[in-house]
Amino acid sequence: MKYIIISLLALTGVTSGFVPLSSPSTTTRANTCLSAERNIVSEASSALATLTLSTLLLLNPLPNDIAHAAEGGASNTANSKITTGGASTLQSGRTIAITRGVNLDRSDFSNQNLKGVAFQQSIVRDANFKGSNLMGASFFDATVDGSDFEDADMTQVNLEMAQLSRANLKNAVVREMYVGGATIFDGIKDIENTDWTDTFLSKYQKKLLCNHPTAKGTNPVTGVDTRESLMCID
C-alpha cells in the first residue's frame, strides 16, 4: 500500500501524517481517505496562517507612543504626528486615522493648522485648540469636555455625537458644522461672539444655546451677530 507523507510546520514543532491512498476497487475507502486528505490540508493552511501572523507581530511590534496613548495619556510624539499630517488629514493626501479611543487629554494644539484632521472617537478633554484652523476636522463621537476653541475656525467641523461640556467656543467661527441630535452642548462654557450660520441644530439644542448667558456679541472675523446666526427669537 502506498502512503503520502505530509509534513506541517507549526508553532509547536513538526507534525507528520500518513494518509493511505484509496484503492480503486473500494469506493468507501476512497471517500474516507479523500476526506482525511482534505482535513489535513485545511489544518496545514490554518497552521501556516497562524505562523505568518505570529511572525509579523514579532517583527513589527506596536510603537511605544501609540501604546502609551492607548493607556491613558497623550505623548509628545503622538501630538507631533497629528500636527504634521500623521493623522487623517485633507492636506496630506493620505488617510491615516488616529487610533480609535486615543487619549489626548490636556494636549496643546493652539495656533496650529489642523485642517481636516480626524479626532473621531478620541478623548480630548481640557485640550487647547485656541486660534487653530480646524476647518473640516472631525470630532465624531469624541469627548472634548473643557477644551478651549477660542478664536478657532471650526467651519464644517463634524461634531456628530460629540460631547462639549465646559468647552469654550468664544469668538469661534462655527459655520456649517455637522451637528446631530446626539451632540451634547449641555454645560458648554462660553459661546460669546460665535457665528453659527448654516449650522443646523435641533430645537432643544437651539433653545439651550439661545438661553445661554453668553449667547451675545458679534463674531470678530465674520461680523455676524451670534443670536442672529442661531436664529434666536428675542
For residue 20, which phi and psi values (nearest 5 degrees)?
A: -70, 140
The confidence band for 42, taking pLDDT boundaries of 50, 70 and 90, is low
Task: Over range 113-124, report the average pLDDT.
Answer: 93
Task: State yes or no: pLDDT of 190 exceeds 60.
Answer: yes
pLDDT of residue 126: 98
Q: Is the pLDDT confidence value at 207 over 70?
A: yes
Q: Are the C-beta atoms of residues 172 and 159 closer than 8 Å to each other?
A: no
102/21 Cα distance (integer angstroms) = 56
Assess whether pLDDT exceeds 90 at residue 93.
no
**Cα–Cα distance measured from residue 64 to residue 52, given in angstroms and rounded to the nearest whole number:** 23
Q: Which residue has the cell 458648554?
A: 188
pTM for the full model? 0.63
Strand partners, 19: 4
- Whether residue 10 is predicted with pLDDT greater than 70 in this model: the reply is no
CA distance 70 to 65: 9
Q: By mean pLDDT, which of 5-14, 33-42, 175-184 is the weakest?
A: 5-14
Domain ranges, ordered by start, for the chain: 3-59, 62-234
What residues are paired with 225 via a beta bridge?
Answer: 218
What is the 3-state composition of the chain as percent helix, strand, coil, each rounded to the nearest 5?
25, 15, 55
Confidence band (pLDDT; 50, 70, 90) for 12?
very low
pLDDT reported for residue 14: 39
Percent of the chain with pLDDT over 90: 55
Predicted pLDDT at 100: 62
Give how far Cα 179 sits from Cα of 17, 201, 203, Å: 62, 7, 12
Q: Which CATH number fits domain 62-234: 2.60.120.620, 3.40.50.720, 2.160.20.80, 1.10.630.10?
A: 2.160.20.80
| Gap between the Cα atoms of 224 and 196, Å rounded | 9
- Examine the pLDDT at 64 and tell me if it is beyond 70: no
The helix or strand, by DSSP H or E, that contains position 4, with its residue range, turns out to be strand 3-10
**CB burial string 1-11: b at 16+ within 10 A, e below:** eeeeeeebeee
